[in-house]
Structure 1
Protein backbone atom coordinates (compact mmCIF):
# COMPACT_ATOMS: atom_id res chain seq x y z
CA UNK A 1 0.00 0.00 0.00
CA UNK A 2 2.77 2.44 0.92
CA UNK A 3 4.67 1.82 -2.31
CA UNK A 4 1.62 2.42 -4.52
CA UNK A 5 0.05 5.36 -2.64
CA UNK A 6 2.53 6.76 -0.13
CA UNK A 7 0.12 5.84 2.68
CA UNK A 8 1.74 5.06 6.03
CA UNK A 9 -1.39 4.85 8.20
CA UNK A 10 -4.49 3.19 6.82
CA UNK A 11 -7.21 0.60 7.30
CA UNK A 12 -7.75 -1.78 4.40
CA UNK A 13 -10.71 -4.12 3.89
CA UNK A 14 -11.13 -6.79 1.20
CA UNK A 15 -14.23 -6.34 -0.99
CA UNK A 16 -14.13 -9.21 -3.50
CA UNK A 17 -11.94 -11.32 -5.74
CA UNK A 18 -12.14 -10.46 -9.44
CA UNK A 19 -10.76 -11.94 -12.63
CA UNK A 20 -9.65 -10.51 -15.96
CA UNK A 21 -9.29 -12.49 -19.18
CA UNK A 22 -7.48 -11.11 -22.18
CA UNK A 23 -4.18 -9.67 -23.22
CA UNK A 24 -3.06 -6.39 -21.69
CA UNK A 25 0.18 -4.64 -20.86
CA UNK A 26 0.92 -6.93 -17.90
CA UNK A 27 -0.56 -10.16 -19.31
CA UNK A 28 0.69 -11.06 -22.76
CA UNK A 29 -0.81 -14.58 -22.73
CA UNK A 30 -4.45 -13.53 -22.38
CA UNK A 31 -5.05 -16.16 -19.69
CA UNK A 32 -7.41 -15.44 -16.82
CA UNK A 33 -5.73 -13.59 -13.95
CA UNK A 34 -7.12 -12.79 -10.52
CA UNK A 35 -6.94 -9.84 -8.15
CA UNK A 36 -8.40 -8.66 -4.88
CA UNK A 37 -10.48 -5.49 -4.80
CA UNK A 38 -9.98 -3.67 -1.49
CA UNK A 39 -11.22 -0.48 0.13
CA UNK A 40 -8.71 1.58 2.09
CA UNK A 41 -9.25 4.51 4.38
CA UNK A 42 -5.97 6.41 4.47
CA UNK A 43 -5.33 8.64 7.48
CA UNK A 44 -1.69 9.56 6.90
CA UNK A 45 0.69 9.86 3.95
CA UNK A 46 4.49 9.78 4.07
CA UNK A 47 6.09 13.21 3.92
CA UNK A 48 8.39 12.06 1.09
CA UNK A 49 7.77 9.48 -1.65
CA UNK A 50 10.20 6.57 -1.85
CA UNK A 51 9.10 4.76 -4.99
CA UNK A 52 8.63 5.47 -8.69
CA UNK A 53 5.65 7.75 -7.95
CA UNK A 54 6.10 11.38 -8.87
CA UNK A 55 3.36 12.73 -6.60
CA UNK A 56 0.10 11.93 -4.80
CA UNK A 57 -2.96 13.95 -5.85
CA UNK A 58 -6.23 13.95 -3.90
CA UNK A 59 -9.19 14.56 -6.21
CA UNK A 60 -12.91 15.21 -5.76
CA UNK A 61 -13.73 13.34 -8.98
CA UNK A 62 -12.44 10.08 -10.44
CA UNK A 63 -9.71 10.49 -13.08
CA UNK A 64 -10.52 10.39 -16.78
CA UNK A 65 -7.28 8.68 -17.86
CA UNK A 66 -7.14 5.26 -16.22
CA UNK A 67 -4.16 2.92 -16.40
CA UNK A 68 -6.60 0.10 -17.22
CA UNK A 69 -9.68 1.86 -18.67
CA UNK A 70 -11.58 -1.39 -19.36
CA UNK A 71 -11.04 -2.73 -15.84
CA UNK A 72 -10.81 0.03 -13.22
CA UNK A 73 -14.21 1.65 -13.90
CA UNK A 74 -15.85 -1.78 -13.52
CA UNK A 75 -14.16 -2.25 -10.14
CA UNK A 76 -15.49 1.15 -9.02
CA UNK A 77 -18.98 0.12 -10.21
CA UNK A 78 -18.75 -3.12 -8.20
CA UNK A 79 -17.67 -1.24 -5.08
CA UNK A 80 -20.59 1.18 -5.48
CA UNK A 81 -23.03 -1.72 -6.00
CA UNK A 82 -21.84 -3.51 -2.87
CA UNK A 83 -21.85 -0.30 -0.82
CA UNK A 84 -25.50 0.36 -1.76
CA UNK A 85 -26.48 -3.19 -0.77
CA UNK A 86 -24.75 -2.77 2.60
CA UNK A 87 -26.50 0.57 3.19
CA UNK A 88 -29.89 -1.03 2.47
CA UNK A 89 -29.13 -3.88 4.87
CA UNK A 90 -28.20 -1.45 7.63
CA UNK A 91 -31.34 0.62 7.04
CA UNK A 92 -33.58 -2.45 6.89
CA UNK A 93 -32.22 -4.41 9.83
CA UNK A 94 -30.69 -1.57 11.84
CA UNK A 95 -27.39 -3.42 11.87
CA UNK A 96 -24.36 -1.91 13.50
CA UNK A 97 -21.52 -1.82 10.95
CA UNK A 98 -17.95 -2.22 12.17
Structure 2
Protein backbone atom coordinates (compact mmCIF):
# COMPACT_ATOMS: atom_id res chain seq x y z
CA UNK A 1 0.00 0.00 0.00
CA UNK A 2 1.44 3.33 -1.04
CA UNK A 3 1.40 6.14 1.49
CA UNK A 4 2.02 9.86 1.24
CA UNK A 5 5.52 9.36 2.73
CA UNK A 6 6.74 7.16 -0.13
CA UNK A 7 9.39 8.90 -2.15
CA UNK A 8 10.10 11.65 0.39
CA UNK A 9 13.74 12.01 1.42
CA UNK A 10 14.63 10.96 4.94
CA UNK A 11 15.81 13.73 7.22
CA UNK A 12 18.62 13.08 9.72
CA UNK A 13 18.38 14.08 13.37
CA UNK A 14 17.47 17.73 13.89
CA UNK A 15 19.64 20.46 15.43
CA UNK A 16 22.63 19.60 13.33
CA UNK A 17 25.02 22.24 12.04
CA UNK A 18 24.48 23.05 8.37
CA UNK A 19 26.59 25.13 6.04
CA UNK A 20 25.07 28.25 4.60
CA UNK A 21 22.97 27.49 1.58
CA UNK A 22 19.62 26.40 0.25
CA UNK A 23 19.03 23.39 2.53
CA UNK A 24 17.24 25.47 5.13
CA UNK A 25 14.96 28.48 5.49
CA UNK A 26 14.23 30.88 8.30
CA UNK A 27 11.33 30.18 10.63
CA UNK A 28 9.49 33.23 9.31
CA UNK A 29 9.86 32.04 5.70
CA UNK A 30 8.72 28.56 6.65
CA UNK A 31 5.66 29.90 8.45
CA UNK A 32 4.67 32.03 5.47
CA UNK A 33 5.35 29.14 3.08
CA UNK A 34 3.00 26.90 5.06
CA UNK A 35 0.46 29.66 5.58
CA UNK A 36 0.57 29.44 9.37
CA UNK A 37 1.70 31.74 12.13
CA UNK A 38 4.96 31.39 14.01
CA UNK A 39 3.16 29.96 17.05
CA UNK A 40 1.72 27.13 14.92
CA UNK A 41 5.13 26.53 13.34
CA UNK A 42 6.70 26.31 16.80
CA UNK A 43 4.02 23.77 17.77
CA UNK A 44 4.89 21.71 14.69
CA UNK A 45 8.59 21.79 15.52
CA UNK A 46 8.54 21.22 19.26
CA UNK A 47 5.54 19.10 20.12
CA UNK A 48 5.27 16.80 17.12
CA UNK A 49 8.70 17.09 15.46
CA UNK A 50 7.20 17.23 11.98
CA UNK A 51 9.27 20.25 10.99
CA UNK A 52 12.99 19.73 11.65
CA UNK A 53 15.01 22.50 13.22
CA UNK A 54 18.64 23.03 12.30
CA UNK A 55 21.33 25.34 13.59
CA UNK A 56 23.03 27.29 10.83
CA UNK A 57 26.73 28.03 10.68
CA UNK A 58 26.15 31.41 12.33
CA UNK A 59 24.29 29.75 15.28
CA UNK A 60 20.76 30.78 14.23
CA UNK A 61 17.83 28.37 14.31
CA UNK A 62 16.23 27.54 10.98
CA UNK A 63 14.08 24.76 9.50
CA UNK A 64 14.94 22.30 6.73
CA UNK A 65 13.36 22.86 3.34
CA UNK A 66 12.72 19.14 2.97
CA UNK A 67 10.57 19.00 6.10
CA UNK A 68 8.60 22.09 5.04
CA UNK A 69 7.99 20.57 1.60
CA UNK A 70 6.94 17.27 3.20
CA UNK A 71 4.47 19.11 5.44
CA UNK A 72 3.07 21.04 2.47
CA UNK A 73 2.68 17.79 0.55
CA UNK A 74 0.92 16.11 3.48
CA UNK A 75 -1.48 19.03 3.88
CA UNK A 76 -2.33 18.94 0.18
CA UNK A 77 -2.82 15.18 -0.15
CA UNK A 78 -3.95 13.82 3.23
CA UNK A 79 -7.59 12.75 3.50
CA UNK A 80 -9.82 14.65 5.89
CA UNK A 81 -10.01 11.77 8.38
CA UNK A 82 -6.19 11.72 8.67
CA UNK A 83 -6.18 15.44 9.35
CA UNK A 84 -8.80 15.01 12.07
CA UNK A 85 -6.86 12.12 13.63
CA UNK A 86 -3.69 14.20 13.56
CA UNK A 87 -5.48 17.09 15.26
CA UNK A 88 -6.82 14.79 17.98
CA UNK A 89 -3.42 13.19 18.52
CA UNK A 90 -1.65 16.55 18.69
CA UNK A 91 -4.25 17.82 21.16
CA UNK A 92 -3.90 14.76 23.37
CA UNK A 93 -0.09 14.92 23.31
CA UNK A 94 -0.03 18.61 24.16
CA UNK A 95 -1.18 17.95 27.74
Larger Rg: 1
TM-score computed with the length of structure 2 as normaliser = 0.25
Q: Which has the higher strand share?
A: 1
Per chain length, whose mean CA-contact separation is higher, i.e. which structure has more relative contact order (CA < 8 Å, sep 6+)?
2
TM-score computed with the length of structure 1 as normaliser = 0.24
Q: Which has the higher helix share?
A: 2
